[in-house]
Chain A
C-alpha cells in the first residue's frame, strides 16, 4: 500500500509522458483501458436499483460462479439514461467496452453467453466506448455517434457511468486530484479566486451568481474560522443531476470542494445532503475515508501546511433548505427558516462566520477549470454564461435522463434532438423548467438559446435545471395546482405572503379544476374572479416574500397565465379540461349499448345524478353530476365512459 500511495501521488503530479512503459501499463490497468479479465459493470445508482440492478448483479454473479469464469464485477454510476436502466457494460480483455440497456436478470444468460463467444447480441445495445489499444466491435455504433451522446458536451459528467465510483485509483489515474495538488502548491488563496472569477463560472443552482465573486467576499472578510458548504440538498422534485454526479463521480465533487475551501481560506467543509440519497451518501462516505487514508484530507496535506476536514451532514428533508440561509440554520440545529439578506452568508453565515454555499454541479466544474485553465472554460457556452449545464429530463418523454449541453443550447435541441421528444402520436405541449417554483415554457419559446439572461428576458427562470416534459395528455392548470400544493406544504411559515399566498393560490386552482359542489353564495364568483386574484396575489408574493422560495413561488402561475391563459379560461368558463386529466371536470356518459340496467351506478351515485328504470339503459344528468367517477368504478360492464 505504501508504494501504491507514492505511485498514485506521483500520477497526480507528473506529466504522463514522463512515466516509464511499465508505469504506463499500470495506468492503463487502473483506468480499465486494459483489463486482465472480463469486466462487467452494473449501474448501481438509485435509478439502477429502482429498475432492479441488484437482481441483475446477483444473476451475473451466479452466472460466473456456475461456469467458474473469473470476472471482475464492479459497481458504477449512471451514464445518464435513467429510463434505460439497469445499464450494464461489458469489456473483454483487449476489446472495447459495450453498453447495454435494460438488462433484467433473465437477459443476463443470453447476453454473457453471446459475448463470451465474441458475438454481440442484436438487442439492448446502446453503443461501444473505444479507447486506444483496444480492438473495436464490428457493427456496434460508437457511443459518441448515437444521437443521445453526439449532441452533448460532457465535461462534468464525462466519467459518470464509466468509472467505478468507489475506486480512488481509477479517478487519480484518469487525471484526478492534479488540479487540487496544483492549487495548493502553486497558487495563493486569492489567485484561485481570481482564476475562477476569470473563468466566468456561475452558480448552477439557479441564481447564476458569479462563483468567484462569492468566494472573494468570503475571503476578504477577516475571521478566525471560515466554512465551505456544499449544497447537495437537491430538493426539487424532478431534478436528479446532483445525485447522479455524486453517485457517478464522488471524488470529482470532493476535489472541487477542496479547491473551493482552499480558495476562501477555510479548513472546514460540510456536505449537506438529502437523507433520502442513501446511495450517494454511501459513495461520499467511502470517498472521504479513502482521501483521509491517502493523506489528501486532514492536517498538513502533503506537507503543504494546509489543513482540511470535510464532513457529511444529512439534511432532514425540507424543500426550503435548498435556500442558503435556511440550509445554514439547519446545519446549526435550528429550523430551516431563511433569514433576510444582507448580511450575506459570505460575510456572516454558519455560526456567524463567513460561509460559502455552492451547489454540487458548480463545485464539480472546478477540477476541470483548474486543470485546463479559465480560457478553455470560456471557450464553451456563451460569453456571459460559459461552461455547460446539466438538465434532467423526465415526464412524458421517450427516454428520461440527464443531458449536459453548453450554455446557450436551445430546449428544442435538448428535448427533441437529444432525448427524442415525446411518445409516438403525441404532441409536445410545454416544458416545465426549474422545479415547483420554475416556469412553464411554451413550444413557441423552445428555440431560444438557454442562458440565465435570455430566460429572464422572457420572464422565465432556469432553476436547477429540472425539465418536465408535458404532452397533450397533461393539463397545465392541474400541474400548476400540484406545484402550488407542494409549495404550500413546503413553505416554512415564517413570512405571511408565502405561507398564506401559496395556500390561497392552491385553493383558487383547486376550485378551478373541479366542478362546483354548489352554485350558491360566493363560490361561483370566486371561480370567475380566480384569474384576476391570482395575478394580484402573485405580484404581492413576489414583492414581499422574504426568501427565494416565496419570491419564486408564483412563477408557475405567472408564466402559465401568460402563455396558457386559454387553458385557464376553458376550465373556468366552459368547465372543461382540454386534456381530460382533471378527473373532477370529466363529463361522464353511459353507453346505451353496454348498459344492462343493473342500477348499481344509480344506487352508488352520491349526487343522485343517474336516473333510469331497471333493466333499461341508465342516463347521467350532467347538471347534477359532480364528476367523482364512482359510477365508472362500480360499473361491471364498462358502460360508463368520459369525454
Chain B
C-alpha cells in the first residue's frame, strides 16, 4: 500500500500545473500506470487539483476509458463496432460472459481474466476482432473464442 502511495505521488509530480484541464491527462496517466483508478488515487487527484472528490469521480465515470477495478492477468478486449456486431460479436460476447461469468468492465474473482467491450477499434475489415493482452484474433467464431479462452486458462494453470 505504501508502495502505491509513493507511485501515486510520483505521477502527481508529473503534473505541476494545478489547472482543471490537467484532470483528464492525470486520470489517463493513472489508468496507464495502474490499469485502473483506485479510490486513493481519486481522493489524491482531488486534493492535488483542489477539486471535490465527487467531481473527479463524476468525470471519471462519464468516460469509457477509465475502469475502477484492477485488470485481470489476461485482459480481454472485444470489439463491438457495427461491422463486428454484424459479424457476430454479440454472440461472442454471450459466449465470453458465459465462459468467464463476468460482464463488460468486470474481473473474474480469481483475477485471471477481465473483459472490456470497445465500441470500435478501427479494424472493420477483419471483423469480428478480439484481443487478449494486445494479441489480436481476427475473423473469429464462437468455437474459436472458446478454444482461445481455454488455452489461456490452461497456460495460467501451468
| Chain A residues at the B interface, C-beta cutoff of 8 Å | 46-47, 49-52, 81-85, 234-240, 243, 275-277, 313-314, 316-319, 330-336, 392, 394-396, 399-401, 432, 435-436, 466, 468, 470, 474, 479, 482-483, 486, 490, 492
Q: What are 14 pairs between A and B in contact, CB < 8 Å?
A: A46-B122, A50-B136, A50-B138, A83-B126, A235-B119, A275-B65, A317-B63, A317-B64, A318-B63, A330-B24, A392-B124, A395-B86, A482-B85, A492-B62
For the complex with contacts A82-B126, A490-B119, 11 further pairs of A-B residues with Cβ separation under 8 Å are A52-B136, A83-B126, A236-B120, A239-B120, A240-B123, A316-B65, A318-B64, A331-B21, A334-B59, A474-B86, A483-B82
Known interface pairs A235-B119, A316-B64. Does A240 touch B124 (Cβ–Cβ under 8 Å)? Answer: yes
Q: Is B83 an interface residue (CB 8 A)?
A: yes
**Is the beta-carbon distance between B124 and A318 smaller than 8 angstroms?**
no
| Bound Cα distance A155, B90 (Å) | 37
**Is the beta-carbon distance between B86 and A332 smaller than 8 angstroms?**
no
In the complex, which residues of chain A have a beta carbon less than 8 angstroms from the beta carbon of B136?
49-52
Most chain B CB within a 10 A radius of its CB, from A50, A239, A317: A50
A280 to chain B, nearest CB (A): 9
Interface residues of B in 98-121 (CB under 8 A from A): 118-121
Interface 1/0 per residue, B51-78 and A, CB below 8 Å = 0000000110011111000000000000
| Bound Cα distance A275, B63 (Å) | 11
**Is the beta-carbon distance between A432 and B125 smaller than 8 angstroms?**
no
| Bound Cα distance A243, B120 (Å) | 12
Q: Select B126's contact among A50, A237, A238, A276, beta carbons within 8 Å.
A: A50
Q: Is B22 an interface residue (CB 8 A)?
A: yes
Q: Select A335's contact among B25, B58, B85, B123, beta carbons within 8 Å.
A: B58
Q: How many A-B residue pairs have CB under 8 A?
A: 134
Count B interface residues, CB 8 Å: 36
Q: Is B27 an interface residue (CB 8 A)?
A: yes
**Is the beta-carbon distance between B62 and A276 smaller than 8 angstroms?**
no
**Shortest Cβ distance from A330 into B: residue:** B24
In the complex, which residues of chain A have a beta carbon less than 8 angstroms from the beta carbon of B118?
276
In the complex, which residues of chain B have a beta carbon less than 8 angstroms from the beta carbon of A492?
62
**Shortest Cβ distance from A492 into B: residue:** B62
In the complex, which residues of chain B have a beta carbon less than 8 angstroms from the beta carbon of A331?
21
| Bound Cα distance A332, B55 (Å) | 14
Q: Is B20 an interface residue (CB 8 A)?
A: yes
**Is the beta-carbon distance between B126 and A85 smaller than 8 angstroms?**
yes
**Is the beta-carbon distance between B126 and A319 smaller than 8 angstroms?**
no
**Is the beta-carbon distance between B63 and A316 smaller than 8 angstroms?**
yes
In the complex, which residues of chain B have a beta carbon less than 8 angstroms from the beta carbon of A479?
82, 85-86
| Bound Cα distance A390, B59 (Å) | 34
| Bound Cα distance A492, B59 (Å) | 11
**Is the beta-carbon distance between A318 and B62 smaller than 8 angstroms?**
yes
Q: Is B19 an interface residue (CB 8 A)?
A: yes
A290 to chain B, nearest CB (A): 23
Q: Is B28 an interface residue (CB 8 A)?
A: yes
| Bound Cα distance A235, B120 (Å) | 8
In the complex, which residues of chain A have a beta carbon less than 8 angstroms from the beta carbon of B27?
316
Q: Select A400's contact among B64, B66, B124, beta carbons within 8 Å.
A: B124
**Is the beta-carbon distance between A394 and B127 smaller than 8 angstroms?**
yes
Known interface pairs A52-B136, A317-B64, A331-B21. Does A400 touch B122 (Cβ–Cβ under 8 Å)? Answer: no
Q: Select B119's contact among A85, A237, A396, beta carbons within 8 Å.
A: A237
In the complex, which residues of chain B have a beta carbon less than 8 angstroms from the beta carbon of A49?
136
**Is the beta-carbon distance between A316 and B24 smaller than 8 angstroms?**
yes
B16 to chain A, nearest CB (A): 16
Known interface pairs A240-B124, A275-B28. Does A50 touch B129 (Cβ–Cβ under 8 Å)? Answer: yes
| Bound Cα distance A486, B86 (Å) | 14
The 7 closest A-B pairs by CB, nearest first: A82-B125, A237-B81, A237-B120, A394-B124, A83-B125, A316-B63, A400-B125
**Is the beta-carbon distance between B62 and A468 smaller than 8 angstroms?**
no
In the complex, which residues of chain B have a beta carbon less than 8 angstroms from the beta carbon of A332?
20-21
**Is the beta-carbon distance between A238 and B121 smaller than 8 angstroms?**
no
In the complex, which residues of chain B have a beta carbon less than 8 angstroms from the beta carbon of A316?
24, 27-28, 63-66
| Bound Cα distance A396, B83 (Å) | 8
Q: Is B23 an interface residue (CB 8 A)?
A: yes
| Bound Cα distance A277, B119 (Å) | 12
In the complex, which residues of chain A have a beta carbon less than 8 angstroms from the beta carbon of B62?
318, 335-336, 492
**Is the beta-carbon distance between B63 and A238 smaller than 8 angstroms?**
no
**Shortest Cβ distance from A242 into B: residue:** B122
| Bound Cα distance A83, B125 (Å) | 4
**Is the beta-carbon distance between A333 and B81 smaller than 8 angstroms?**
no
In the complex, which residues of chain A have a beta carbon less than 8 angstroms from the beta carbon of B19?
333
| Bound Cα distance A239, B121 (Å) | 10
**Is the beta-carbon distance between A51 and B126 smaller than 8 angstroms?**
yes
In the complex, which residues of chain B have a beta carbon less than 8 angstroms from the beta carbon of A486?
119
In the complex, which residues of chain B have a beta carbon less than 8 angstroms from the beta carbon of A81?
125
**Is the beta-carbon distance between B25 and A313 smaller than 8 angstroms?**
yes
**Is the beta-carbon distance between A47 and B83 smaller than 8 angstroms?**
no
| Bound Cα distance A239, B124 (Å) | 8
| Bound Cα distance A239, B125 (Å) | 11
Q: Select A82's contact among B66, B82, B85, B124, beta carbons within 8 Å.
A: B124
| Bound Cα distance A359, B19 (Å) | 27
Known interface pairs A51-B138, A313-B25. Does A470 touch B124 (Cβ–Cβ under 8 Å)? Answer: no
| Bound Cα distance A27, B124 (Å) | 36
**Is the beta-carbon distance between A333 and B24 smaller than 8 angstroms?**
yes
In the complex, which residues of chain B have a beta carbon less than 8 angstroms from the beta carbon of A85?
125-126
**Shortest Cβ distance from A337 into B: residue:** B62
B140 to chain A, nearest CB (A): 11
**Is the beta-carbon distance between A47 and B122 smaller than 8 angstroms?**
yes
Q: Select B20's contact among A277, A333, A394, A396, beta carbons within 8 Å.
A: A333
**Is the beta-carbon distance between A238 and B120 smaller than 8 angstroms?**
yes
In the complex, which residues of chain A have a beta carbon less than 8 angstroms from the beta carbon of B126?
47, 50-51, 82-83, 85
**Is the beta-carbon distance between A82 and B123 smaller than 8 angstroms?**
yes
In the complex, which residues of chain B have a beta carbon less than 8 angstroms from the beta carbon of A490?
119
In the complex, which residues of chain A have a beta carbon less than 8 angstroms from the beta carbon of B23?
333
| Bound Cα distance A330, B27 (Å) | 13
| Bound Cα distance A313, B24 (Å) | 9
**Shortest Cβ distance from B79 into A: residue:** A237
Most chain A CB within a 10 A radius of its CB, from B59, B86, B121: B86
